[in-house]
Amino acid sequence: MARAVVLGNEEFTYADLDQWSNSLARALQSRGCRRGDRVGLLLSKAPLAIAGILGILKADCICVPLDVESPASRLNKILDNSEPRLLLVDASGRKVSRELRSFSTNALEIDAAATEGANTCDPVVSKNSPEDVAYLLYTSGSTGEPKGVCVTHSSVAHFIEWATEYFEFTSNDRISGHPPLHFDLSLFDIFGTFSRGAELHLVPPSLNLSAAGMTQFIRSTNLTQWFSVPSALNYMAKFDTVRQKDFPALKRVLWCGEVLPAATLRYWMERLPGVQFTNLYGPTEAAIASSYYTLPSIPEPNESIPIGRPCEGESLFILDDTLRPVSAGTLGQLYIGGVGLSPGYWKDEQKTRASFLDSPDGKGRIYKTGDLAKVGMDGLIYFAGRADTQIKSRGYRIELGEIEAALNGIEDLKESAVVAIPTSEFEGSLICCAFAPVKGAHVTIITLREALRRTLPHYMLPGRWLSLDRLPKNTNGKIDRPLLKELFRSNADNTTQRCFSEVQSIEV
């Protein structure tokens, strides 16, 4: 029987995956889970977790993937919003669940669930429709409250159908599973692989800290496709771990989530001349990706890489403040329409109405991405940055306001602000924090990081810090964020330090 999913020495065949997921679905149903109920997935990335996802969907439930590395305080916010009937956990998840409100006893061990559900051979009969919600994926919120994006079965299916055809997937493919399971890019890896009977090779999270480890993983598994956020590609290029004509089985390299510098692309394309390189673009609210661009040749050193043209069934609009189309070459706000759109945010009509609008052409709805873009002379669309305080760092979408909300809860801080500056390093955008302590308080980067670590996931922790007597203000009395960005850019050597180093206090 063909292998379905592999992680090191662990593997499931398609028969294993079907048997485990059916058992889990029956166990969930026996515990009272019904169509539309949410089930939290608090599992480490492993073949059994993939079976857990399929079991939740087969039980007609909505999968709510949770990050076992996130602080309990953030997980509690997600659970309060999604109100899952129960949590599906492994050993790591069970440990985390003890810190979660009301879920210390409402957690079901996945091994026990599969055993419980295996007591019957009755087939699992699903009743979900294509427009039912399959996933709730939580992204960073500007108010400090994570937002639950509703992802339907049909929106994922439309993208998978297009992508597997465009990229010519076959049953002989060996696909990487690099993103964490609470990240929407993982949907392409999982369901794209299974739709063609291929093999999914899960990338151990520990390899994200090892450029050599990631490149060796591609070699040892004979991957035919690598798909990740750009920071992983940047990291491998930075440490020069890719050999000339490396990875002989590799056919495709895809990335999505943030801008990949042309210098990194040149590095990869020069070493892998026979590989197809494709840039995908799209927010979680539009199911995995909405546009694509496959590079025809190695780009020039400082060339801008377009996000390209819409995927089949998708529409991209560049509009002004009155929702009128702008002319070619003019910067405008990027909106998305089409088959991939989410119904909105879970239990938040206000945010849904603010972000999902009636299309100006009268054809359905459009989503306001918050991104700036323009149409080039070549007719392709080019991303031009953010129009708000949302950034992408290491592939994660982050609202700087959520970090500031956490800082506001620290008593020893008089005021603080978080900005992001572009960097050539693998992070993408570098998160920077300027702060002014309460007079007489002893505040260090170590104490601030430890305080934030209790409420925020690791990828939201600032990488640069600046201690000031008071934060600079503009003529309106508001914190002068452009000036703070300039301070971080121009004074990196003497006013900011990375990680746990002490910072110099300057007066503005």
305 against 399, higher pLDDT: 305
pLDDT value at residue 502: 33
Give the contacts of 222 (CB within 8 A, at least 6 positions apart): 174, 249
The whole-angstrom separation of Cα 242 and Cα 215 is 7
Give the contacts of 51 (CB within 8 A, at least 6 positions apart): 12, 16, 17, 20, 21, 24, 110, 114
Asked whether this chain's domains 1-122 and 315-386 adopt the same fold, the reply is no
**pLDDT digit string, tens, across residues 150-176:** 999 999 999 999 999 999 999 999 999
146 against 114, higher pLDDT: 146
pLDDT value at residue 104: 55
CA atoms within 13 A on the CB side of 271: 20
pLDDT value at residue 216: 98
Give the contacts of 210 (CB within 8 A, at least 6 positions apart): none
105 against 378, higher pLDDT: 378
- Average pLDDT, stretch 312-321? 94
pLDDT value at residue 7: 97
Query: What pTM did the predictor assign?
Result: 0.85
**pLDDT digit string, tens, across residues 33-51:** 999 999 999 999 999 999 9
Instruction: Using the structure block, give the residue that is written with the tokens 């696909």.
Output: 175
Domain coordinates of the chain in residue numbers?
1-122, 129-314, 315-386, 392-506
**pLDDT digit string, tens, across residues 483-496:** 999 999 886 544 34
- Average pLDDT, stretch 339-345? 97
Supply the mean pLDDT for the chain.
89
User: Does the structure show a pLDDT above 50 at 319?
Assistant: yes
Nearest residue to 109 via CA among 124, 123, 92, 121:
92
What single-letter amino acid sits at 235? Answer: Y
pLDDT value at residue 184: 93
User: Does the structure show a pLDDT above 80 at 144?
Assistant: no
Q: Is 70 exposed, middle or buried, given 0-12, 13-18 or 19+ CB atoms closer than 10 A? A: buried
- Fold for domain 315-386? Luciferase; domain 3 (2.30.38)
In which band, very low, low, confident or very high, does the pLDDT at 101 lie, cut at 50, 70 and 90? confident
Q: Are the CB atoms for 447 and 453 separated by under 8 Å?
A: no
pLDDT value at residue 422: 82
How would CATH label the architecture of 1-122? Answer: 3-Layer(aba) Sandwich (3.40)
User: What phi-psi label fits residue 201: left (phi over 0), alpha (psi between -120 and 50 degrees) or beta?
Assistant: beta
User: Does the structure show a pLDDT above 70 at 397?
Assistant: yes
**pLDDT digit string, tens, across residues 72-95:** 889 999 999 999 999 999 988 888
- Average pLDDT, stretch 447-452? 93
How would CATH label the architecture of 392-506? Answer: 2-Layer Sandwich (3.30)
pLDDT value at residue 503: 37
pLDDT value at residue 508: 28
97 against 463, higher pLDDT: 463
User: Does the structure show a pLDDT above 80 at 434?
Assistant: yes
User: Does the structure show a pLDDT above 80 at 389?
Assistant: no
**pLDDT digit string, tens, across residues 458-470:** 899 999 999 998 8
The rounded percent of the chain whose pLDDT value lies above 90 is 65
Given 3.40.50.300, 3.90.550.10, 3.40.50.12780, 3.40.50.2300, which CATH number is that of 129-314? Answer: 3.40.50.12780
Nearest residue to 190 via CA among 157, 232, 152:
157
User: Does the structure show a pLDDT above 60 at 504?
Assistant: no
Task: Give me the helices (H) in 211-308, please.
Answer: 211-220, 230-238, 262-271
**pLDDT digit string, tens, across residues 253-280:** 999 988 888 889 999 999 999 999 999 9
- Average pLDDT, stretch 493-504? 37
478 against 9, higher pLDDT: 9
DSSP state of 130: T
The rounded percent of the chain whose pLDDT value lies above 70 is 93
